[in-house]
A and B are shown apart, each in its own frame.
Chain A
Amino acid sequence: MFQILRTEWLKIKKYPAFWWVTGITALTYPGINYMFHSVYENLTKQSSASGKVVSALLGNPFSFPEAWRTIAYFSSIFVFIPAIVVIMLITNEFTYKTYRQNIIDGWSRRDFMTGKLIDVTLISLLVTCLFAIVVLIIGFSNTTDPEASRWSLAYYVALFALQTFSQLSLAFLVGLFVKRSFIALAIFSFYFIIVEPILVNVIKYKFKSESGQFLPLEISQRLLPKPAFIGRIDEVAYRASLDAVKYHVAYTAGLVMLTWGICFWISKKRDL
């Protein structure tokens, strides 16, 4: 395992695109949350009555403990940025035929996939660390109530990690299947941003069914329910979404295993 990890690091550490996208991700996650936070501050710090009304309605989604939930939700929207790296890490191996060269040099197909599994895991952990740092900074700087619990929702780090890992695994599967980076990224982004949200809503409102929750991205998307200030619009639905999280942990874990099972199977069967 260590040898695989070391080899993957040799591949990645001098890969300019990896560092560029990592840098962009490192800026995006704090940046986007800072932007939402700034909007919130502008709305609520007005001295007029409207500012007070907004503050009463929204509460303080950027203070603990709600900061965990709020920032997780907003950050999860941008998983397609680290997905770029994940897709490139597999599609480049096809483009430059280094996948086959790794096998020729002495790796098994399983070794190669294990290396990619490690890559996706590490990228997920990196993104999760970014998320955690952003939460801690924003949360601690916005929490004025000494009685507020800082850590009661800290488990959202694990939920965020699981969701990120699940969705990046799906991005990897698309890359493995398509083998071309631009096309894979286009398919993944299109599905992530356009297709699945539409499908979920069509299934929910037209067919009056909740089966949309089992679509591949939606399964993990429901690990991170909307923050309270949005959920208050429909309290019943909001409560249901919070209660469903534990089921979606199991569903997501199952989907992750299925995703990587398919990846290993494709790798085993396919000619290079």
Chain B
Amino acid sequence: MEIILELQNITKHYGRIRALNKVSFSVPQGSVFGILGPNGSGKTTLLSIILDVLKADQGNFLWFGNPGSPAQRKKIGSLLETPNFYHYLSATNNLKITHSISARGDLQDIERVLRQVKLFERKDSRFSSYSLGMKQRLAIAAALLGNPGVLVLDEPTNGLDPVGIAEIRELIIDLRKSGHTIIMASHLLDEVEKICTHVAILKKGDLVTSGHVDEVLVDEDVVEMGASDLSALTSVMSTYDHQGKLSHEGNNLLLVLPKGTANPEDINHYCFGRGIVLSHLALKKKRLEVKFLELTGS
């Protein structure tokens, strides 16, 4: 599979602060590649480096197998950190500047993308009169101009209402289906799970892990049990043949098992056979947030 972006030992310092430390990973073509991490982990710094806003102290990156260049950036639709436009210009005129610099799209395409992000009715209003959500939509429109094959989006749903978030999610899914490659930094773990095919997790500038999202952010089965005698239940379950871990949460006993291996019916039968009548039995997925916090050590 073709590699769209390859990072090799990217390192960046801000004075004494180490923002990135030898970060390396590859983004395959056609993927939706999520970059996750807590605040200050280096996500925006990383995207800034690959878009030539910042210079890496060490390491390099390759776009389409070649060193980064203005010609390549023209083919990439980008949204970095905040919407950056000329405040005294309208949406249309701002996108004309985007078109003039990047050579992506044309005047008809400007109308198309404004309709796509539902800003067409306000296309002639000054950027300074827009709400945060509208500014974000315009930034997304600029990234979509000319239908680029690669998109780099930094928190694309920032400032959007739930409807807007859902729309952007559907948009990204549609783009993925049509073969676009999307590199996306996000805090919203649910969105990442729904949209991304691959993920890289950063923590304090270090790459914690990267790979296919199903491998990195594996959900686990959590069987939640309750009985009148919790200690007796615990003793019985400690003899149950399983590949998981037992723990207590409140008045319940939790059995965390690898995804897809939980069998509540079997557990119920086992407990009943040893004189334990369960008052509560539920199968849950391990919360993605918990998994993320585990990986980042938070």
Q: Mark A103-138, 1 if CB is under 8 A from B, else 0.
A: 111111001000000000000000000000000000
Cβ A103 vs Cβ B100 within 8 A: no
Interface of B is mostly: loop
* Mask of B122-141 contacts with A, CB within 8 angstroms, 1/0: 00000000000000000000
Whether the Cβ atoms of B93 and A104 lie closer than 8 Å is no
The answer, yes or no, to whether A46 is at the interface (CB within 8 Å) is no
A7-B97, A105-B73, A107-B70 as given contacts; A272 in contact with B53, CB under 8 Å? yes
- Say yes or no: B52 contacts A103, CB within 8 Å: yes
Closest chain A residue, CB of each to CB of B51: A104
| CA–CA, A272 and B44, complex, Å | 13
Task: Say whether A10 contacts B97, CB under 8 Å.
Answer: yes
Q: Which residue of B lies closest to A100 (CB)?
A: B53
Closest Cβ of chain A to B123, distance in Å, is 14
List the B residue with the shortest CB-CB distance to A111: B70
Residue in A6, A15, A104 with the greatest tally of chain B CB atoms within 10 Å:
A104
Distance of B13 from chain A, by nearest CB (Å): 11
B17 on interface, CB distance cutoff 8 Å: no
- Please indicate the chain A residues that have their CB under 8 angstroms from the CB of B51 in the complex: 103-104
- Say yes or no: is A50 at the interface (Cβ < 8 Å to chain B): no
Within 8 A of A (CB), among B72-117: 73-74, 78, 80, 82, 84-89, 93, 96-98, 100-103
Q: Is B54 part of the contact surface with A, judged by Cβ < 8 Å?
A: yes
- Inter-chain contact A97/B78, CB cutoff 8 Å: no
Whether B100 pairs with A98 at a CB distance below 8 angstroms is no
Question: In the assembly, what is the distance between CA of A49 and CA of B7, in Å?
Answer: 86
Residue pairs across A and B with CB atoms within 8 Å: the count is 71
Residue of B with least CB distance to A115 = B101
Docked pose: A108 CA to B85 CA in angstroms: 18
Cross-chain contact B82 with A14 (CB below 8 angstroms): no
B1 close to chain A: CB less than 8 A: no
Rounded to whole angstroms, the CA-CA distance of A100 and B71 in the bound complex is 16
Q: Is the CB of B84 within 8 A of A106?
A: no
Interface footprint category on A = 20 to 34
Q: Which residues of B contact A102 (CB under 8 A)?
A: 101
A104 in contact with B97 given A96-B87, A272-B54 (CB within 8 Å): no
**Residue among B87, B88, B93, B102 having the largest count of chain A Cβ atoms under 10 Å:** B88
Closest-CB distance, B11 to chain A (whole angstroms) = 14
A211 within 8 A of B: no
Q: Tell me, yes or no, whether B187 is within 8 Å of chain A by CB.
A: no
Asked if A23 is an interface residue, CB under 8 A from chain B, the answer is no
Across the interface, A105 reaches (CB within 8 A) one of B54, B93, B101, namely: B101
Q: Is A11 an interface residue (CB 8 A)?
A: yes
The reply to whether the CB of A3 lies closer than 8 angstroms to some CB of chain B is yes
* Chain B nearest CB, measured from A10 CB (Å): 5
Give complex CA distance A3, B102 in Å: 10
Contacts of A105 in B (CB 8 A): 73-74, 78, 98, 101-102, 142
Hey, which chain A residues are within 8 Å of B98, CB to CB? 105
List A residues 80-97 near B (Cβ within 8 Å).
92, 96-97
B86 touches which of A6, A11, A104, A271 (Cβ 8 Å):
A11
List 13 A–B pairs whose Cβ atoms lie within 8 Å, in order of A's numbering: A7-B101, A10-B97, A14-B88, A15-B88, A92-B86, A98-B86, A100-B53, A103-B53, A104-B51, A105-B101, A106-B71, A106-B73, A107-B70
